[in-house]
Amino acid sequence: MPGVWIALIAGVFLGLFQSLHGNAEDLPIRTATMLLLAIAAVLVNVLTLSIFGISAYTALSGRAIFFFGVAGAIHFSGGWMFIGLAQRRVGVGITGLLVGATPVFTAIIAWTLIGEALSVKDLAGIALVVAGVGVATWR
């Protein structure tokens, strides 16, 4: 159950950050994204240290740190830059709804690249996400 709570907290932070990022219209997208990255890095490290202590870092291998860094760079420099561009063109609300399709892409990529199995429940959840995003963005 702790994983569910962590995911819910992550969702709240995602919504908060997305709203802040979308409303930073006076800043260039790259500057707003880098500022967001800096705030997120500080927040995540403070939370990690306060919950797990320094052992959370000492237990990591160099390979794990490398891949975590690469994933973070892709996510923030690519993902958040495009989100920022989308928010300025169609608004924060619509962009947030479309970002709701992220689990679909995550499941497809995990299945394709690392062979993660998708159960019938997973596929039903993906179908619900796609249907929900479709209904919410229908004009």
Domain segments of the chain as ranges? 2-90, 100-139
Cα 24 from chain centre: 19
Residue found under tokens 């989308």: 86
Residue 1 has pLDDT above 70, yes or no: no
**pLDDT digit string (tens) for 46-61?**
988 898 889 888 888 9
What tokens were used for 118? Answer: 């998708």
**pLDDT digit string (tens) for 62-112?**
999 899 888 888 877 788 788 888 888 888 777 877 777 887 888 888 889
pTM score, whole prediction: 0.58
Cβ neighbours for 115, distance < 8 A, ≥ 6 positions apart: none
